[in-house]
Chains A and B, each alone.
Chain A
Amino acid sequence: AQTVTQSQPEMSVQEAETVTLSCTYDTSESDYYLFWYKQPPSRQMILVIRQEAYKQQNATENRFSVNFQKAAKSFSLKISDSQLGDAAMYFCAYRSAFSGKVIFGPGTSLSVIP
């Protein structure tokens, strides 16, 4: 069975600074997808970024980028130029290309300090 681990329950960052959130996963599959979702206090789940396991190039979306290390099974999220609106819970998720099912890590609560 696949598992997703986020070892940082809470993180904080100064406004305009850079922060990196960690995620590791365990799987025996070779084809899968990885995601970062953001959940603000409204509880709405928002996709931040997506990575395909067979693509070596790291995904980027504006201020958000990932460091995908397939051999190490690591998928960290870097947020540059942090803004107050980035304060939220961040969840790492794994999607099996075989079964389609999606599992999540326990989340990291990010605070942004003005």
Chain B
Amino acid sequence: NAGVTQTPKFQVLKTGQSMTLQCAQDMNHEYMSWYRQDPGMGLRLIHYSVGAGITDQGEVPNGYNVSRSTTEDFPLRLLSAAPSQTSVYFCASSYLRGNEQFFGPGTRLTVL
């Protein structure tokens, strides 16, 4: 099992550019989520999904879009990058109910 994989590991964008952060899991987890981690602010939930075709907003959804067309994949799209989106992004997955989440290795994104 590869677990949760994220690509790319590092990315530098210019303000206004768009890009997609990829996330995939091979554990057949229903639940997938995206977080951003900034110093002193912990992990803040951007979007989450409880199954294919179902997504919902988290705490900080503005500027980000998601879709879940398959159980395995949950890409995060930045529509028009801004310097405030400079952060480390984590994807996570789990079974539903009270199960622990498994995290990807993270993507460090810098927006100039």
For residue A11, CB closer than 8 A to chain B, the reply is: no
Inter-chain contacts of B105 with A (CB < 8 A): 43-44
Decide: B103 and A44 in contact? CB cutoff 8 A: yes
Interface string of B20-50 (1 = CB under 8 A from A): 0000000000010101000011111100101
A-side interface mostly: loop
Decide: A99 and B100 in contact? CB cutoff 8 A: no
Decide: A43 and B48 in contact? CB cutoff 8 A: no
Inter-chain contacts of B33 with A (CB < 8 A): 101-102
Min CB–CB distance A60 → chain B (angstroms): 16
In the complex with contacts A100-B48, A104-B44, A45-B103 CB distance below 8 A: yes
B-side interface mostly: strand
Min CB–CB distance A110 → chain B (angstroms): 14
For B38, give the chain A residue with the smallest CB separation. A106
Q: How many residue pairs, one in A and one in B, have C-beta atoms under 8 Å apart?
A: 54
Inter-chain contacts of B44 with A (CB < 8 A): 104
Decide: B100 and A35 in contact? CB cutoff 8 A: yes
For residue B88, CB closer than 8 A to chain A, the reply is: yes
Decide: A103 and B45 in contact? CB cutoff 8 A: yes
For residue A16, CB closer than 8 A to chain B, the reply is: no
Give CA–CA (A108, B92) in the complex, Å.
Answer: 21
Decide: A104 and B97 in contact? CB cutoff 8 A: no
Inter-chain contacts of A91 with B (CB < 8 A): 42-43
Decide: B98 and A50 in contact? CB cutoff 8 A: yes
What are 5 A-B contacts defined by CB distance under 8 Å? Answer: A47-B100, A100-B31, A101-B33, A101-B48, A104-B35
- Which residues of A approach B to under 8 Å, CB–CB? 6, 9, 33, 35, 43-45, 47, 50, 52, 91, 95, 97, 99-107
